[in-house]
Amino acid sequence: MGNDSRGGELRIHAFADGAAYARQIARALGVPFAPVKLHRFPDGESLVRVAPQAGRHAVLVRTLSDPNSKILDTLFAADALRRAGASRVSLVAPYLAYMRQDKVFHPGEPISQRVVGKLLGEAFDAVLTMEPHLHRVKNLAEVIPCEASTVAVAPAVARWVKRAAKGCVVVGPDAESWRFVEAIARAAGAEWIVGEKTRYGDRRVKIVFARTPAAKRAVIVDDIASSGVTLAEAVRELRRHRIVNVDAVVVHAVFAPGALAMVRRAGARRIVSCDTISHPTNAIKTASLFAEALRRVR
C-alpha cells in the first residue's frame, strides 16, 4: 500500500478508456488501482461512480483527447472522489487539450485555455501533464490555478532516438520546438537543427532549414501531430536537401483523418509516437514517467 508525503493512502483511478495506462502507473508505484464507472442516460447526461474507498490521495488518470466528451465526466469524477473520502485529488492527463488557444486571435473568440484551466484548477489539487503545447504562456501553473506541472518526455524520446536512429540529426520543424529538440539531441548525443516555419493557413505551411548537416538520416520530433501538414512539409524539405531516410516522432498522436497517410506520402520512412493518446503509431511508453513524478511527492 502506498502513502503520499501527507501520510495518506494513495490510489490510482481511471475510466475504462484509460485503464491500461493507469494500471501501468499503479504497478510502478505498487499501489491499488480502482476503475471509474460511467453511465450515459438517454438524454446524454452522465453518471460517474468511483470506488467507495477512494484513498486519501486519489489520482485520476485520463488523457483528454476528444475533450468535449470527457471534460465534464472528469470534473464529476473529481467531485465523486472527494465525496468518497479523498482529501487530495490529482489529475494525470497525459494529453491536455485546449492549451493552444492562449489568446484572442480574432474578435469574438474566447481564450479556451483559460476556461479549461480554471475548471481543472478548481476541481483538482494537482494536475500533471506532458508537453502541453504552450506558446505565449511558459508555465502551466499560470493557466491552471493549482499545483500544475509538466512531466518531461524528452528523456524517453531520446532513448528511442539513441536506440532506433543512431547517427541521425534531430530536427525540429519550427523555432517553438527548439528547447524540446535540444534536450532530446543532447540526451541522445546527436546533432540537431531547427527549421523556420511560415504558416499561411491551417493546411499550408512553408519550412526552411538554414543549414542541413551532412547526415544520411534525420528524425523530426514534435510535440503534437494533428493535421500532419507541418510534419509532411518538414519531411519534404529534408528530402530536398538529400536526406533520404527521414523518421518522425511525435508526443501526442492526434492525427486527423488522412494526416498519417499524408506524412507517409511526403516520404517519411517511419512514424512513431508516445502513448499519451492511444494510436497505432505508439512506440514510446510514458506511464513510468508519471509514476516517477508521483513517487517524488509521496
In 10 A of CB 269, how many CB atoms? 14
Q: What pLDDT was estimated at residue 134?
A: 77
Residue 3 inside a domain? The answer is no
Domain that holds residue 220: 154-275
For residue 122, give the C-alpha cell: 478548481
Whether 146 and 191 map to the same domain: the answer is no
132 and 262 assigned to the same domain:
no
| Co-location of 144 and 196 in the same domain | no
Both 106 and 190 in one domain: the answer is no
The three grid cell numbers given for residue 221, joined into one nine-digit string: 520530433
Model pLDDT for residues 253-286, shown as the tens digit of each residue: 999 999 999 999 999 999 999 999 999 999 999 9
Same domain, 141 and 160: no
**49 and 84 assigned to the same domain:** yes
Residue 8, φ and ψ in degrees, nearest 5: -110, 160
Does 188 lie in the same domain as 252?
yes
The CATH number linked to 257 is 3.40.50.2020
What lies within 8 Å, CB to CB, of 179 at 6+ separation is none
Q: Residue 249 in contact with residue 219, Cβ under 8 Å?
A: yes
Does residue 2 belong to any structural domain of this protein? no
Same domain? For 191 and 240 the reply is: yes
120-138 pLDDT tens trace: 999 999 999 999 977 777 7
Whether 192 and 139 map to the same domain: the answer is no
What total number of domains does the chain contain?
2
Domain assignment present for residue 163? The answer is yes
Hey, how many other C-beta atoms are within 10 angstroms of the C-beta on 27? 14
Q: What are the angstrom distances between the C-alpha of 31 and each of 23, 159, 255, 290?
A: 9, 27, 33, 14
pTM: 0.91
Convert the pLDDT of each residue in 202-234 to its tens digit.
Answer: 678 899 998 887 788 999 999 999 999 999 999
Residue 3 has pLDDT above 90, yes or no: no
- Alpha carbons 182 and 192: distance in angstroms, whole number: 7
- Does residue 107 lie in a domain region? yes
| pLDDT 10s digits, 8-43 | 489 999 999 999 999 999 999 999 999 999 999 999
Same domain? For 175 and 232 the reply is yes
Residues 146 and 201 in one domain: no
Residue 1 lies in a domain: no
